[in-house]
Structure 1
């Protein structure tokens, strides 16, 4: 009995320690499962019941409370430079022609290589465009500022539009 109790205590401390070091909101839920198993052990539950309780409680906590916790704790997360580009307006500084693999835009004073969302559309210098996606180091833009909705859409060349999360 004490060996199993010590195992659950070590697992609890290990999970909490890993969570403190990583802050990934993943191992803390297994610490909850270990805590429930400790109580089951103190109530003289058989080992198989303790193991089942550990996995059930851990998985329920992981799948049902982690998304809420991540949303709560990561609400102030700053988007990276590339993530923040989607949905922004840009000015074309070099004609965008996908067939010639040419085109540049300026966004927030930064020059970016750009390609048209619609493969067949050439976009002239001076046009105002909206960034629809980021493909590697290129911005995928659309003339006229049409957003096409918040859901991801796929182009014929396989580049997927990123959701615009504001």
Structure 2
């Protein structure tokens, strides 16, 4: 009876993976397949469950990073994500303590905050976009070698 359960779990998990293509359930499908094989040789249920968990976790931990690196090579950053690393010009002085700051990047104005509360930026100063927090750009001082270019 357990063989049918594990085979059904394998099928459902694999179907979900095929439909989503998100590399989320394939690891558990492999774990269900391992448990199914153990059920075929009449191993106790607790051995099947432990095998399911162990195989799933091992697959997830050791193969997911490799797979996502190779499968997501062609993924391009979209919208705000693509701004990280770009230069921006300060329009309104950036001061976290006063909750103010605005920068211009690619012809668009963005609310900005410094990555460090004690660091402020003056109007027309050039900064580097370090990240995004909500709808605000997190900016930092440009590296010295970039400033000399």
Partner of 2:36: 38
Partner of 2:63: 65
1:57 partner SS: helix
- Please, what TM-score do these two structures have when normalized by structure 2? 0.78
Distance (whole Å) between structure 2 residues aligned to residue 49 and residue 115 of structure 1 = 53
Extract unaligned runs of 5+ from structure 2: 145-149
Distance (whole Å) between structure 2 residues aligned to residue 8 and residue 99 of structure 1 = 57
For 1:92-131, what aligned pairs fall within 5 Å after superposition?
Answer: 92-98=90-96, 100-119=98-117, 122-131=120-129
Displaced runs of 4 or more, over 6 A:
none
Identify the structure with the greater helix proportion: 2
CA RMSD, 1 decimal: 2.4
Query: Shift of residue 117 of structure 1?
Result: 4.2
Partner of 2:7: 9
Distance (whole Å) between structure 2 residues aligned to residue 48 and residue 68 of structure 1 = 30
Distance (whole Å) between structure 2 residues aligned to residue 99 and residue 28 of structure 1 = 47
- Please, what TM-score do these two structures have when normalized by structure 1? 0.72
Distance (whole Å) between structure 2 residues aligned to residue 39 and residue 129 of structure 1 = 58
Deviations 1:32-91 (A, max 9, x none): 122122222222333332222222212211221122112221222222322222221111
Range with greater deviation from structure 2 (117-126 or 16-25): 117-126
| Aligned positions, number | 144
Range with greater deviation from structure 2 (97-106 or 71-80): 97-106
Distance (whole Å) between structure 1 residues aligned to residue 27 and residue 116 of structure 2 = 45
* Cα distance, 1:31–1:128 mapped onto 2, change above 3 Å: same
Partner of 1:146: 143
Distance (whole Å) between structure 1 residues aligned to residue 51 and residue 99 of structure 2 = 58
Query: Shift of residue 103 of structure 1?
Result: 3.1
